[in-house]
Amino acid sequence: MITGGKKWGDRGFYVLPTVFAKVDENSTLAREEIIGPITKIIRFETMEDLLEKTSIKHSLLPTAIMTRDVDKVNHMAKKLRYGSIWSNWCIVRDGFSIIHKIDTFKITK
């Protein structure tokens, strides 16, 4: 964990936004949905490695791809099995109200 993980506020079960880095792609953390302001970073050296390891399980969850190479993003977006795929961007603020703004960036696969 590189940030967050602490309780937020005096009531309820809220946690501060939390980021996990160096997550093993076979771990429960990588494979299961976690409800809350939590994200995980899984790093891959090659596109082939990424496609092989992430395509093992279908996921309806969103994912973000961070790269300088637009061709790589286009190639991976066609191959990955995720609900939404963002390129060099992801939703990081004000929850539901921003969800409709993403329509501007949608490309049907």
How do residues 51-70 score in pLDDT, each as one tens digit?
A: 777 655 556 667 777 788 88
Asked whether the beta carbons of 81 and 55 are under 8 A apart, the reply is yes
Asked whether the beta carbons of 61 and 33 are under 8 A apart, the reply is yes
Helix, coil or strand: residue 96: helix
pLDDT for 99 equals 54
Record the pTM: 0.58
Asked whether the beta carbons of 61 and 38 are under 8 A apart, the reply is no
Among 18-22, 56-60, 68-72, 78-82, name the most confident range. 18-22
Q: What is the CA radius of gyration of the chain?
A: 15
pLDDT for 100 equals 54
Average pLDDT of the residues of the chain? 75
Confidence of residue 75 (pLDDT cuts 50, 70, 90): confident
Task: Give me the percent of the chain exceeding a pLDDT of 70.
Answer: 70
